[in-house]
Structure 1
């Protein structure tokens, strides 16, 4: 396609701004959903502390906790799944903007040294635009919103399982063992779901402008 004329450049710029606006809305949703979940969790903790002060961690406290913690967990699981989807959508938006930058470089090759973000749509180009590096470390991934929300969900599952075991009359050792097992299982399930979603989204993808092309 010949993109050397003015109208093509205007079309590309319009598309770029559209993707940028969509990415901004995606990030706003990520922050909003994460903040909403943390607010619900904080309110629940405050409510549990007030009930505990009034009932002395007795049967009424366990009943109340068994009513509200599943609701918190439901909100947390839903938030986690949506954050995973939002991260995938954000990756596609970055790929789209990288392709548009590639078109800009075709229009004006002399601008390439001034670009900080990548103009390639393969994995190295995606990482370059995300973090301005060719690779990111474990700390970068661990600080992501889905991971933080997922870890909180795992903790809620552990606490909820402990309360269920306590209400069933299990001793402390059984409570700790079952709670730990359920937390590990939840962590594995959440990680597996996220991995499958990312893999499914990327398995049919092929880069049009890979870094090796230059």
Structure 2
């Protein structure tokens, strides 16, 4: 006797949700275990990345503090004359470069975190395909579109000030301040007037914040432009 036909083994097209219809209880159980394994893998990757980024930020802030203390000690020794200017610019340049590297890592980690949230939303959607009765117990979204990601980040209400209170913003402001000090120090080093040093330093600091904001926003937009969601959020969700 021929075996009964099972579900279509052909993979679904991109952006098309695979169906759980026709699966036996054993197949559903196996699929749930595999989804849970992937879910825990994403949670571990997200936790590891966040821990590493916070450590990188802490190291950078420690180096900035140590660098400024070093400049203070050198200033007392040299009475802010002679080779102090060269040493100060060298220390500030090093901090600017380290800040750029750290800021780039923070941006990449933020985008990676967004991708992990989207992936976990998609897995919740797969759980609901297996058992729609789970829906009332999920606070985070099961939709892997942009609105679903927002729902997972802000389950109950939007928090517009979240970005300004983030670790990335702290990193951006500190890096901007160090860059402003370096630019101002260069102007003073070439015998420029103090007002010009302050003005160019402030412009460099503000420009740094704006540039990183634009780069971060473009990265955010690119993630959703390249992603084809399986579940989309309804207007009343």
Confirm or deny a common fold (TM above 0.5).
Answer: yes
- Asked if 1:207 corresponds to 2:229, the answer is yes
Equivalent residue number for residue 43 of structure 2:
20
Equivalent residue number for residue 191 of structure 2:
169
- Asked if 1:128 corresponds to 2:137, the answer is no
> Greater helix share, 1 or 2?
1
Query: CA distance change for structure 1 residues 50 and 135 in 2, over 3 Å: closer, same or farther?
Result: same
How many residue pairs get aligned? The number is: 213
User: Within 5 Å, which residues of 2 pair with 1:47-66?
Assistant: 47-66=70-89
Q: TM-score if structure 2 supplies the norm length?
A: 0.83
Q: TM-score if structure 1 supplies the norm length?
A: 0.91
User: Within 5 Å, which residues of 2 pair with 1:141-152?
Assistant: 141-152=163-174
Contact persistence 2:63–2:95 (CA under 8 A):
yes
The structure with more radius of gyration:
2
Contact persistence 1:122–1:210 (CA under 8 A):
yes
Aligned match of 1:38 in 39, 61, 71?
61
Equivalent residue number for residue 110 of structure 1:
133
Deviates more, 1:128-137 or 1:67-76: 128-137
- Return the offset for 1:195: 2.4
Question: What is the alpha-carbon distance in structure 1 between the residues aligned to residue 62 and residue 216 of structure 2?
Answer: 24
Question: What is the alpha-carbon distance in structure 1 between the residues aligned to residue 154 and residue 79 of structure 2?
Answer: 49
Extract unaligned runs of 5+ from structure 1. none
Contact persistence 1:84–1:146 (CA under 8 A):
yes
